[in-house]
Amino acid sequence: MSQPRVFSGVQPTGNLHLGNYLGAIRNWVKLQDGHECIYCVVDMHAITVWQDPADLSRATREVTASLIAAGIDPVNHILFNQSKVPAHAETAWIFNCVARMGWLNRMTQFKEKAGKDRENVSVGLYAYPNLMAADILAYKATHVPVGEDQKQHLELARDIAIKFNHDYEVEHFPLPEPLILGEATRVMSLRDGTKKMSKSDASDQSRINLTDGADDIDQKIRRAKTDPLPLPETVEELGARPEAANLLTIYAALGDEPLAKSVADFAGKQFSDFKKALTERAIAVLSPLSTEMRRLLADPGHIDRILADGAERANAIAAPILAETKRIVGFL
Ligand code: TYM
């Protein structure tokens, strides 16, 4: 029996951070056991906001190296960059003609990213969720591991699949399921427990990058915002304490244990003691990863070959599905 097909993607816009790792990538690694996994460095998504070409190439290699260092297996699964497989762009165009303006107008991520400057952002940023739906459905993938922030985009991908199948009276695209797994589905900024940890935050102190060394991690956790109380006794109390909730959630996720256990272990303790334990745990998990990443990046040719090989195998899956999609639409 064939294994369920997993697809997910990450943008090469700078370094990966702890939110990407705990919310998504660590789950990608685990899913390799028992699923056929296709993981994509989404360079076409990245250019929806301006990217310097040299930076984009460098970030594509760096993100690829981080993924391999984190445990993605590019031999038994597929790892590639999006722009190498034409099915993404071709399927996305068809989806531009399936998705409704009203659906895209509801996308909160677009509203956040465009802000007050709506008239001046790229058309690509607006149509971005259609490309994301194309990424998944070009492979007929059914399982999509993501962080909480991508849930709305996944719902849109399902709506597109439903409307396509309905309009053309086919059962062509499956409905993809989001897999939002683990304790840390939404890691927050170290400077503000109510804001998502993000690559686009101007302050590097707001996030732990997968490339950070032990000293950076130590310093960032030491400076992380807290509140004046001792650590809470119960998970319920975390509701009113965003910074404590975030740091304890990170601690639990890094150790792969339930949040309730971390809360119990530090109940009533001072932040200073807890921060020491958190720093130790973060360094233990992340430093082997950054060492391996640096080793891989010493040979960019090797990374390029991995991406090219992955793209060839991705294309072999996507090309016949794209041919069928075009036939259904009526393209000769
Ligand atoms: P991107 O590049 O912003 O993030 C990659 C993955 O990391 C997760 N993530 C987080 N999880 C928890 N806490 C955070 N603070 C945090 N920040 C990011 C994201 O949820 C994501 O899973 N549109 C996508 C990339 C994409 C994609 C796809 C994903 C393109 N095509 C198809 C799935 C399927 C994005 O911009 O992710």
The CATH number of whichever domain residue 85 belongs to comes to 3.40.50.620
| 174 lies in the same domain as 310 | yes
| 290 lies in the same domain as 303 | no
Tokens of residue 124, six digits: 């690509």
**How far does CA 332 lie from the centroid of its chain?**
36
Q: Is residue 188 assigned to a domain?
A: no
Calculate how far, in angstroms, residue 230's C-alpha sits from the geometric centre of ligand 1: 33
Specify the number of domains making up the chain.
Answer: 2
| 134 lies in the same domain as 37 | yes
Q: What pLDDT, on the 0 to 100 scale, is given for residue 1? A: 62
Q: How far is CA 48 from CA 12, 24, 52, 158, in A?
A: 12, 21, 12, 22
| 93 lies in the same domain as 25 | yes
What is the phi/psi pair of residue 328, to 5°? -60, -40
Whole-angstrom distance, CA of residue 150 vs CA of residue 272:
34
Q: How far is CA 305 from CA 73, 110, 300, in A?
A: 14, 34, 9
Which residues on adjacent β-strands are paired with residue 135?
A: none
To which residue do tokens 């993981």 refer? 39
Single pTM value for the model: 0.97
Calculate how far, in angstroms, residue 166's C-alpha sits from the geometric centre of ligand 1: 29
Calculate how far, in angstroms, residue 145's C-alpha sits from the geometric centre of ligand 1: 9
Ligand 1 pocket mutation, candidates 21, 150, 188, 197, criterion most atoms within 8 A of CB: 150
Q: Is residue 160 assigned to a domain?
A: yes
| 145 lies in the same domain as 224 | no
Atom index in ligand 1 nearest the CA of residue 133 equals 32
Angle 252-236-277 (CA atoms, 0-180°, nearest 5)?
30
Strand pairing of 36-41 and 5-10? parallel
Q: Is residue 197 assigned to a domain?
A: no
| 173 lies in the same domain as 94 | yes
| Pocket lined around ligand 1, Cβ cut-off 6 Å | 7-11, 19-20, 23-24, 42, 45, 132, 135-136, 144, 146-147, 149-150, 185-187, 196-197
Q: What pLDDT, on the 0 to 100 scale, is given for residue 15? A: 84
The CATH number covering residue 226 comes to: 1.10.240.10
Whether 113 is catalytic is yes
Choose the catalytic residue: 163, 199, 225, 326: 199
| 87 lies in the same domain as 210 | no
Whether 30 is catalytic is no
Q: Is residue 130 assigned to a domain?
A: yes
| 286 lies in the same domain as 312 | no
- 68 closest CA partner among 22, 34, 28, 31: 28
| 267 lies in the same domain as 309 | no
Choose the catalytic residue: 30, 113, 151, 163: 113
| 268 lies in the same domain as 320 | no
Q: Is residue 250 assigned to a domain?
A: yes
Q: What is the mean pLDDT of each run of 10 residues along the chain (332 residues)?
A: 93 94 97 98 97 97 97 98 98 98 96 90 97 98 97 98 98 98 95 94 95 96 96 95 97 96 97 97 96 96 98 98 98 98
Instruction: Mention every residue, 6+ apart, whose C-beta is less than 8 A from residue 58.
Output: none
Q: Is residue 111 assigned to a domain?
A: yes
| 148 lies in the same domain as 23 | yes
Whole-angstrom distance, CA of residue 146 vs CA of residue 83:
21
Residue 329: count of CB within 10 angstroms of its CB? 13
Q: At what angle do helices 87-96 and 300-329 cross, to 10 degrees?
A: 40
Q: What pLDDT, on the 0 to 100 scale, is given for residue 117? A: 87
Whole-angstrom distance, CA of residue 36 vs CA of residue 42:
19
Whole-angstrom distance, CA of residue 146 vs CA of residue 9:
8
Q: At what angle do helices 259-266 and 242-254 cross, to 10 degrees?
A: 110
Q: Where are the alpha helices (DSSP H) in the chain?
A: 18-20, 26-31, 43-46, 53-70, 87-96, 101-105, 108-114, 123-137, 151-167, 214-223, 242-254, 259-266, 271-297, 300-329
Question: To the nearest 10°, the Cα dihedral for 285, 288, 289, 291?
Answer: 150
| 255 lies in the same domain as 321 | no
Q: Is residue 277 assigned to a domain?
A: yes
CB 9 within 8 A of CB 82: yes
Residue nearest to atom 16 of ligand 1 (CA): 19
Q: Is residue 191 assigned to a domain?
A: no
> 266 lies in which domain range?
204-294
